[in-house]
Structure 1
Amino acid sequence: MHPLARNLALASLPFALLGSSIALANDVNLPRTMAWTAYGTNSSGYAQAVAIGNMLQSNYGTSVRVLPGDNDVSRMTPLKQGRVDLCACGIASYYGVEGVMMFAHPDWGPQPIRLITTSTASFGLSLAVAGDLEVETPADLRGKRIAYIRGDDALNKGTEAYLAFGGLTWDDVERIDYPGYGRSFDGIIAGNVDASFTTTVTPPAQQLASSPRGISWPVLDPNDEEAWERMRAVAPYFHPHEITSGAGGISADNPVNSASYPYPIVVGNADLDDDIAYGLIRALQDNYDDYKDSAPGAVGYALEYQDLQWVIPFHDAVVDYYKEIGVWTDEMQAHQDALVERQQVLLEAWNAFADDAPSDEDAFREAWMDARSEALTNAGFDPVFE
């Protein structure tokens, strides 16, 4: 069963049961002030953080200061240093847990991050393909010109995952390098490249849809288990998602079977105060109607959109909340325990590796990835990133 559908079924427990469970919970005990980092001020993630902050101020007297960050480093560094309570991050939070990509660096390594909540809205994350190519599925991308964004691991990993769904790799397409995300869409419109990874609602996708080439989105069969296994082997954070908003006429009346992962991903450190973690998740669920329409995508915090068996371990106090409302299962606990164990393996491997690591950054990264893979494999885990 799809994770969201499974959790929807759990969320459909009788309201009387949920209400009585919540009533037994401790009172919300949030601090007077909190600090978050988020994406830039023009992003939906920032707007959602502000909307949540307004709800917390109105209902609990908690003032939230949202610090915008233009890139993953500026969003994650204050969390690492303990200068903020939470980060409304993107998928880089998962890379941080795993200690890969930008985190395979002497200044970083695996981060002891815990999940508070996520938002999964109506849009998808997909390859925007020029509409004049008649690409219907990822397999049709063979031989096409695909954008590779220098310095943006998350976007390139998304592209690689879509290719894997179609049984393809970078060797099966023509890779066209671009210095930035926006430039790749200029390249599609100009006829110099055929596809680039994005969200379905982003302005560049809208611009492509309005161009002479038009836009199309590859369809991912939600029942093709082998294809999903290939995709998740590359990027395990993707899940099937019916997109109901996006460029090119996507709507509730004209949906597309595709993929998505949450954005934003609200995380804190493992040592985040229990009162903050518990208070926030309870406040978000108890007062959902107060903020769900206050920012684009805020509807995605509803209980039925929470994947309780995702790729980042939950904060212990969040697990306590889900137990109280009766939706936490033994299967979820086993998954949580495995994620925590995986993170402990990574942290121990990092501590052992860093004591005698190469000083050259490239050599450091290569040696760490080898050490990381060995430690995870020996502990019975899939390294995922090689």
Structure 2
Amino acid sequence: MKSTKKFTQLVLGSALATFGLSAAAMAQDYDWPRLLVIGTPGTSTGSFASTNGWGPTLQEETGTTVRIVPEDSEPMRYKRLTDREDIAISSVSASEMAAQTEGFGGYASAKPLPQRILWHHNDTPWGFVVSGDSDIQSLDDIAKGGVRVTSGVFSPVIVAVITEALPGFIGLSPEEAQEKIEFVPASSYGENCRSVVEGKSDVAYCSPISSVLSEMEGSPGSIRWLPMDPDDTEAWDRFLNVRPMTIPTKISFGVKTAQGVNSMTSNFVYSVPATADTDFAYNMAKWLHTSFDNYKGTHALATRMSVDLFREFLNANPIPVHEGTVKYLREIGQWTEEDDAWNEEAIALMDRWIEARNEGLKTAAEQGVRADFQDEEFLAIMEKATEGLPAFRSRL
């Protein structure tokens, strides 16, 4: 944002009067926008709460007015970021960014526009849990057969993990899994996880940061987590065929029984349009790094925004990072030539998806087919337009 010297002095004076800022805190080379709007999922989410935690610190230290806007509809938040441009930053899962780019599901008829990662927001670890006195010591024991595994029918994603991804990891086809594994239905997340301590099932797919896991950990016999070997690339390759944006990780937070166990994570990031100003992205990245100690205590998830965790995420991330963030990370020694290579490939892949989907929309319009993600004729046109394009997938 460009401004005259007089205008800058007025803004600085106003900020000092309003926030009681020190001259040192306001002495910056970058003119921050007067208003910064950040979109997050709804008010009941950790994304909304944690962004509300660090937002006031940014406002206090830079003088920009920060507004956190909850928008529960993922397609609408995507539209507001990329098309309407009435929010500048969006909190979104990396897997959702991939779906938005690829036009998956409800995004099929959305206007295709490219995005970039600005910074890491948080990570949600997941894993396979058993009761503490279970005879099952590894995931390979499940492949032997006769094991009950909870299938959370309340979530299509969890069903896919249990009936396809997990069998793939342990070398079973979905058909073999149906023969060897007893799938125990659960109608809620709490029921899904508690099943292993209540004796209704042997294995469940849960997140160790969930409150129900603390309850389970305190139960008689406690609980254990089954490790997923990060070096077994063939197993992970089969798992990623079903859940392509999952990232192998060593769990570092959540219930004590999970910490230190090799498993997986699903990451949230802050995204910006690909057209976002380089100076803005650079200075946001710089602030998020250099002020981390000032805001990390505002919410538990804010502790997941360190540059170290961002760097760890980048080691497997397949989504393009904004050039302003790249510039800053390079300056502080957190970006390499190898990163340049995969990031350029990621940008090229995103461009291919955007171009192909725009061609599909053009074809549909020329044929008089309404762009509607529930219209089979439209979906057939889009499928043909994007045929052969590889999906975004975590890098092992």
Normalising by structure 1, report the TM-score.
0.76
CA contact (8 A) 2:208 2:255 kept: yes
8 Å CA contact 1:176, 1:193 repeated in 2: yes
Q: Percent identity?
A: 25
State the SS of the aligned residue for 1:144. Answer: strand
Aligned residue number for residue 336 of structure 1 = 343
Aligned to 1:14: none
Task: Report what 1:135 is aligned to.
Answer: 136
In structure 1, stretches of 5+ residues that fail to align are 1-25
Counterpart contact for 1:346–1:375, Cα < 8 Å: no
Superposed, 1:44-63 pairs within 5 Å as: 44-63=46-65
Q: Deviations over 1:285-326 (max 9, x none)?
A: 121111122211322222222233512101122122223334
SS of structure 1 residue aligned to 2:206: strand
Task: Give secondary structure in 2 for the equivalent of 1:217.
Answer: strand
Q: Deviations over 1:167-220 (max 9, x none)?
A: 245441455555654453466666555554432111233334445685432201
Q: 1:39 aligns with which of 32, 35, 41?
A: 41
1:229, 1:328 → 2: CA distance? 26
Give 5+ residue unaligned stretches, structure 2.
Answer: 1-27
CA distance in 2 between partners of 1:184 and 1:338 (Å):
39
Match of 1:85, as an amino acid? A
Partner of 1:346: 353
TM-score of the superposed pair, with normalisation by structure 2: 0.75
* Corresponding letter in the other structure for 1:287: S
**Partner AA of 1:308 in structure 2:** L
Secondary structure of 1:82's partner?
Answer: coil
Residue aligning to 1:308: 314
Given that 2:223 and 2:257 are in contact with CA atoms closer than 8 Å, whether structure 1 keeps it comes out as no
Q: Does 1:294 align with 2:302?
A: no
* Distance across 2 between alignment mates of 1:228 and 1:99: 25
| Contact in 1 for aligned 2:151/2:186 (Cα 8 Å) | yes
Deviation at 1:273, TM superposition (A): 2.9
Choose between structure 1 and 2 for higher RCO, CA contacts under 8 A separated by at least 6 residues.
Answer: 1
Give, in whole Å, the separation in 1 of the partners of 2:341 and 2:266: 22
Query: How many Å separate the matches in 2 of 1:369 and 1:112?
Result: 17
Please say if residues 373 and 383 of structure 1, whose CA atoms lie closer than 8 Å, have aligned partners that are also in contact. no
* Maintained 8 Å contact 1:117/1:281: yes
1:8 is matched with none
C-alpha separation in 2, matches of 1:73 and 1:258: 30
Aligned to 1:85: 88
- Aligned pairs for 1:117-132 (under 5 A) are 117-119=119-121, 124-131=125-132
Write out aligned runs for 1:165-314 (5 A). 165-171=169-175, 172=177, 173-175=181-183, 180-182=188-190, 184-185=192-193, 195-211=203-219, 214-247=222-255, 249-251=257-259, 255-262=260-267, 264-306=268-310, 307-309=313-315, 310-314=317-321
Given that 2:169 and 2:239 are in contact with CA atoms closer than 8 Å, whether structure 1 keeps it comes out as yes
Distance in structure 2 (CA, Å) of the matches to 1:74 and 1:128: 35
- Structure 2 counterparts to residues 316-327 of structure 1, below 5 A: 316-327=323-334
Cα distance, 1:265 vs. partner?
Answer: 1.0
Aligned positions, number: 348
Match of 2:31 among 29, 33, 36: 29
The question of whether the paired residues in 2 share the 8 Å contact of 1:110 and 1:350 is answered with yes
Structure 1 residues 30 and 94 mapped into 2: Cα distance closer, same or farther (>3 Å)?
farther
- Please name the residue that 2:104 is paired with: 100
